[in-house]
């Protein structure tokens, strides 16, 4: 694999507005019209992507491999959520992030997220071979 030289401490941010489309009711992960846990995790992953993917060589990206998150507080429709990620460890292609999410009133989520740097063409070749 090409040398991946990501520096610990890199940060990324992502934002989402809570709408009917990303509530627990719409996701099927609950019956309440508040931000769904999977939607919160998604914006947290996006923050981690934003921290590192633009710094990778052409033809490379990162994929999520593990998420360990606590959903601390509910966020109603109409509020905005901001997620932050900080690269804690970079061991070759293995990346570990601290992730947090806030809704303007309070912290709503926190945890650790792992990603792995991949060569896109090799990865997609392997994935597409599953269908053969």
Active site members = 37, 45, 71
* Residues contacting 58, CB < 8 A, separation 6+: none
Q: How far apart are CA 32 and CA 57, in angstroms?
A: 42
How many helices and strands in the chain, by DSSP H and E? 3, 5
How far is residue 40's CA from residue 56's CA, in Å, rounded to a whole number? Answer: 25
What's the rounded Cα separation, in Å, for the pair 58 and 116? 16
């Amino acid at each position: 694999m090409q040398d991946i030289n990501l520096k610990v401490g890199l940060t990324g941010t992502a934002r989402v507005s809570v709408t009917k489309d990303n509530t627990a009711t719409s996701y099927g992960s609950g019956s309440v019209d508040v931000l769904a846990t999977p939607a919160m995790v998604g914006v947290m992953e996006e923050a981690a992507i934003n921290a590192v993917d633009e710094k990778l060589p052409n033809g490379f990206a990162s994929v999520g491999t593990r998420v360990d998150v606590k959903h601390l507080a509910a966020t109603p429709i109409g509020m905005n959520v901001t997620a932050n990620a900080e690269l804690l460890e970079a061991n070759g292609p293995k990346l570990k992030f601290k992730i947090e999410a806030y809704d303007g009133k309070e912290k709503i989520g926190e945890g650790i997220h792992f990603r792995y740097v991949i060569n896109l063409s090799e990865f997609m070749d392997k994935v597409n071979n599953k269908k053969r």
